[in-house]
Chain A
């Protein structure tokens, strides 16, 4: 399975390319999903969220897609920049209001 740190799934892209980070969630009852970005030595930073009654939401350079049929979430980053290099976590939340975080994906952007 996935793990944080050296064994994180890694996505390497060139500066200017679009990046797609995927996340599979487990609870079909989850009604709210969040993407966080964590840079080295910092806390997770909120990027974008989506409710379960939506299948797409766009922010500034980022888009989140939700496919409830297959319990899949993705984060698309347009025109990826070196400053986007970080670990990206998806989180799902159900009735307990406590989110469950995925293991994370490490995004490396090459200039």
Chain B
């Protein structure tokens, strides 16, 4: 158990709908990362939040957005869903101190499997 929790575990919805995925980081971790994993794309970085602020952006669609709340949990919002959005969505957390020489290892949650019908 990594200490990172994600809900829900499974989500089935229809095209055009909007869903929210939730992540709670490990105790003490200030940073949250969102990843999408699909069969043909591997593990793709979407976005990072650090202590409530967006820190880095990856291959995140405009239909997707995220935020990190004062208690450090994060939500990933996916809207106008398409069939191609079906994937596993992982959250990871790290201390993210960016101190020179730090490893800042990311620890992953169990994921949310999204199926868009």
**What is the interface of chain A, defined by CB distance below 8 A to chain B?**
3-6, 32, 34, 36, 42-46, 49, 51, 89, 96-104
Contacts and interface: CB of A to CB of B under 8 A. Distances in A.
Interface residues of B, number: 28
B40 interface: yes
A86 to B, nearest CB: 13
Nearest to B33: A98
Given A34-B105, A98-B56, A43 B111 contact: yes
17 contacts: A3-B42, A4-B42, A34-B105, A34-B106, A42-B110, A42-B111, A43-B109, A44-B90, A46-B108, A51-B103, A96-B56, A97-B104, A98-B45, A98-B58, A99-B45, A101-B43, A104-B42
Query: For the complex, would chain B's binding face be called helix, strand, loop or mixed by DSSP majority?
Result: loop
A4 B98 contact: no
B2 to A, nearest CB: 7
A51 B105 CA distance: 12
A43 B103 contact: no
